[in-house]
Amino acid sequence: MSSGVGILWEKVIRLSKRDRGEKRKAGQPLVTGVAPTGKVTSGPPSSSGESSRANATVVKSPLPGILGRWFWPIVVAMLLVQAGLAVDVAWEWSPTHDEYWHLPLGVFYWQTADWRIDPINPPLVRLWASLPLVLSGTTIELPPELGWPDNVPTAEQVGDAFHEQHKGSYRGQFFFGRLMMIPLASLTGLILAGWSRRWYGDASGLLVAALWACCPTVLAHGALVAHDLPATLGSFATVAACVAWRMNPTWRRALAWGVILGLALLTKLTAVFVLPVCGAVWLLLPREGPPVGWPVVLRQMLIGLGAAWVVLTLQFGSAGLLPMPYLAEWAALREVLGVRHPVFLNGEWGSEGFRTYYLWALWWKLPTGMWICLALAAAMVVKALIAKDQENSLLLRRSLLLAIGVLVFFVPASFSGNQLGIRYILPAFPFLMLFASQAAGWWRPDASRGAKILLAILFASLPLSLRHHPNHLAYFNGLAGGPAGGIHLLADSNLDWGQDLYRLRSYLKLHHIEGVKLAYFGSVRPWLEGLPSELPPGHSPEPGWYALSANFVQGRPHALRLEGGGHRAVNLDEFGYFRFFEPVARIGDSILLYHLSQEDVDRYLKLREELLADEELSVR
């Protein structure tokens, strides 16, 4: 990969120098391009981002006039469909593993401004999500035995207190908290559509809106009180603001960039990775406006960074020069990252993580239509590399910038041992989709009828990835064999984050099933939601009804909550024997329901004895 990036970089630099070496003749138009209608236009710098320094031609994908005129209504309609599905998810799903304390901590922060509990995440997202709860009078009181404020309780203990005090309204509280998150996904989609339209034309703008709206992973995390989607919005909006500032360096745009950067840093600590992307914006993209000297730009940058510092300081209420709680969060994160978690990939458990983990996660969880668009976009970049003329310089520079936007999140996550889900690289998704939107560029006036039909079928097929609604968290594409095949490939929040407890309760009630023993991968205590607390037997089966989270079926070590208090450790593959049996139902693709008869148990025990005997013979 490094050699390919090096070749691309050399190509970009060579073409950029050639562009800058050419002087514009008197009376020559600043920009020559192809408008969304397919007609050649000339005039002042257009909205596609071309500059007088890079006298390049960027071919935009044309659309019928009616689609161009209705661009924004179509985009908004797609995002409204996504939001509507997310609202349904927000009601259907039980609180996921980390949500269990994210929302209660938001209420607690509003009451106390005590940031010491769970300091590995900045408080802004929790404060935002819990705002409607606080405005409606919701409070939380910690039990005296926790010893707060002298002692710092755990995040789980705060979640426990909230659940016990609001059992009657618990589901509704989380529903309203989740509603605050859904507009953040919509706003990201709007920025994506506008950016793609500006760079590549109307068709690309509509395509990227469809890719975003039809991505199950985006929809799933956009409906949760968690930090991943807000960090995605913050990071992408920061780069978008930086691009606008680079195109026309003004004090106002520098200030806007700084404020957005500060807000992004308050969504999740890893949002700091966006800073190298902002640096790449200044290195790779040409400006549109009149020349501005570097001393002025540096002063503007100081203003922007100062604005980001002010935002951080105001959030934490720091009186000194540094936002000390924010810096303390980095120290806490370092300790957390030092704790290794078991990682599951393609049927194998590992304790150190896998360098190819996120490559495989993308391969299994991105919709197939997205992969086809990425391939078509890559073909367009290869075509530009082969062309060897300055007209493709801008396209290559933009593509390299988007690649950097993906890699700054992808590479650190790939070398981390805490590989617990594709959500950790969610901030890379907008850059990946913006690159993929170039696939619409193949819809050219001179394209064959057959090519246009195939492209139309591709674009129309994108909504098929939503057919498993509301099981978007457990979505796997056809390459993985769908959700039924995905359970053998990835685990944790890729599949099972504790989201289907309510649906299990409804299923058991509907089918009058009683006496179920439950092993639930989640933080919610099931017995408070009317579900059983008795656990399945470890290592060896017994007749009866059992409901197990998919993570436990695949052998995930974890801990189960006990009704009498405390936790019970689950060892590696302790419940793995359930893989021998066929479930009678899949609840949301994350909880498997089994009914074992004595005959089933005897058949399993007999087979196990035969396998053990064969192993003994092979040892001898």
User: How far, in Å, CA of 162 to CA of 152, rounded?
Assistant: 16
**Residue 460: pLDDT band by 50, 70, 90 thresholds?**
confident
Classified as helix, coil or strand, 567 is: strand
From first CA to last CA, the distance across the chain in angstroms is: 48
For residues 68 and 469, the model is more confident at 469
Confidence class for position 338, pLDDT limits 50, 70, 90: low
- Which of 553, 430, 560, 580 has its CA nearest to residue 486? 553
- What is the domain partition of the chain in residue ranges? 2-69+183-327+347-466, 74-180, 499-619
Quote the CA–CA distance of 181 and 90 in Å, as a whole number.
10
Instruction: Band the pLDDT of 65: cuts 50, 70, 90.
Output: low
Tell me: the pLDDT tens digits for 235-256? Answer: 999 999 999 999 999 999 999 9
Lowest mean pLDDT among 39-48, 203-212, 398-407, 466-475: 39-48
Phi/psi for 520 (5° steps) reads -110, 125
Q: What is the mean pLDDT of residues 359-367?
A: 98
- Give the tokens for residue 567: 């936790």
Checking if the pLDDT of 21 tops 60, the result is no
Determine the pLDDT at residue 371. 96
Helices (H), 347-470: 357-365, 368-387, 393-414, 429-436, 449-461
User: Which pLDDT score is estimated for 24?
Assistant: 36
Read off the pLDDT band of 453 (50, 70, 90): confident
Radius of gyration (C-alpha) of the chain in whole angstroms: 27
Mean pLDDT of all residues in 263-276:
94
Q: What percent of the chain has pLDDT over 90?
A: 72
CA-CA distance, 201 to 438, in Å (whole number)?
9
More confident residue, 329 or 103: 103
Lowest mean pLDDT among 123-127, 370-374, 384-388, 553-557: 384-388
pLDDT at 353 over 90: no
Tens digit of pLDDT for each residue in 500-554? 999 999 999 999 999 999 999 999 999 999 999 999 999 999 999 999 999 999 9
Which pLDDT score, from 0 to 100, does residue 89 have?
98
